[in-house]
């Protein structure tokens, strides 16, 4: 199944992608988080009824919102999960280099970053001078659990989508090298365009790419992950409960702007495309907005 969150009749509706159409699920489905939380039999009944009699709209030209809009915690993230990305940044972390990690590196970012797959990315040069792109595959947790063994991790995955973990590199360095602040600027992380369930995709073979103004910047297959998704779920859930609807970003491959020579940073007007086979694409333009307001902070 492929699920989208469609802007429709002044609100948002959960829908199924069938061929080139979106089938609206009945109002009883709620949003994706509510739908994930329903018993499997109820989910299946809603799907069957909607496929039979639900309204159908063309997918082309549809206005899609982020598939997950309601969070009970921060967005969960993985750092340094492609070794080529870890290596490309050596000596470019402004004195904050670390040894290669022996276990996954996790951090979080504010849910207020999340925008839709075609929405504008908020940009304010007063916030940062070093805006960077990061193409990522995101996991949507389907079943909650704690201390989940790797062998059962797949039972806790509802599906996958794409994310662009837009980052402000100078804010990362300013705040001790930790990632929360430098990745939590409002309205900067596209998510979507659809959530694709496990049976629809062979994840290790998925090729993930990022294009900046039409130029290919990142290009890798998911099999290159340092820690595969089953290990990420096992490690993150070790002693810590994961909840249905949680989002876990799985890391970005090499090619980021900060590691290039010369460095390449995003600016207003740039178009960034994140795409992957079977998962669709995010297509977003950076548009100037007032994010700094009356703040007296001077980065």
The pLDDT tens digits for 197-242 are 999 999 999 999 999 999 999 999 999 999 999 999 999 999 999 9
Beta strands in 110-206 (DSSP E): 114-115, 121-123, 131-132, 135-141, 157-164, 167-168, 189-197
Please state the separation of Cα 137 from the chain's center in Å.
6
Q: 29 phi and psi, to 5 degrees?
A: -70, -30
Looking up tokens 């969070």 gives 71
Token digits of residue 298:
């001077």
Q: How far is CA 204 from CA 140, 168, 180, 226, in A?
A: 17, 29, 28, 12
Looking up tokens 């992957």 gives 276
Under-70 pLDDT residues of the chain:
91-96
Measure the CA–CA gap between 246 and 18, rounded to whole angstroms: 25
Q: What is the pLDDT of residue 94?
A: 63
Half-sphere exposure of 92 (CA within 13 A, CB side): 16
Token digits of residue 243:
């909840």
Question: Domains in the chain and their CATH numbers?
Answer: 2-65 (no CATH), 75-288 (3.90.850.10)
Token digits of residue 47:
């799907």
């Amino acid at each position: 199944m492929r699920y989208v969150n469609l802007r429709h009749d002044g609100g948002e509706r959960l829908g199924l992608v069938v061929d080139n159409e979106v089938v609206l699920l009945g109002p009883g489905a709620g949003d994706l988080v509510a739908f994930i939380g329903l018993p499997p039999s109820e989910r299946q009944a809603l799907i069957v009824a909607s496929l039979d009699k639900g309204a159908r709209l063309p997918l082309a030209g549809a206005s899609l919102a982020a598939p997950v809009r309601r969070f009970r915690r921060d967005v969960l993230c993985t750092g340094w999960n492609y070794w080529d990305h870890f290596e490309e940044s050596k000596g470019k972390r402004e004195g904050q280099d670390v040894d290669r990690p022996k276990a996954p590196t996790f951090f979080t970012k504010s849910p207020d970053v999340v925008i839709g797959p075609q929405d504008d990315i908020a940009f304010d040069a007063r916030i940062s001078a070093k805006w960077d792109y990061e193409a990522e595959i995101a996991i949507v947790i389907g079943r909650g659990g704690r201390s989940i063994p790797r062998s059962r991790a797949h039972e806790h995955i509802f599906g996958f989508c794409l994310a662009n973990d837009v980052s402000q590199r100078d804010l990362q360095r300013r705040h001790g090298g930790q990632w929360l602040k430098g990745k939590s600027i409002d309205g900067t992380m596209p998510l979507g365009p659809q959530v694709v369930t496990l049976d629809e995709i062979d994840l290790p073979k998925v090729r993930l790419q990022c294009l900046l103004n039409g130029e290919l910047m990142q290009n890798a297959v998911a099999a290159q992950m340092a820690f595969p998704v089953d290990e990420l779920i096992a490690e993150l859930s070790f002693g810590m409960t994961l909840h249905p609807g949680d989002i876990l970003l799985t890391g970005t491959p090499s090619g980021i702007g900060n590691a290039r020579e010369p460095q390449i940073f995003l600016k207003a007007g740039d178009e960034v495309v994140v795409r992957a086979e079977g998962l669709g694409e995010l297509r977003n333009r950076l548009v100037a907005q007032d994010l700094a307001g009356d703040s007296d902070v001077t980065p």
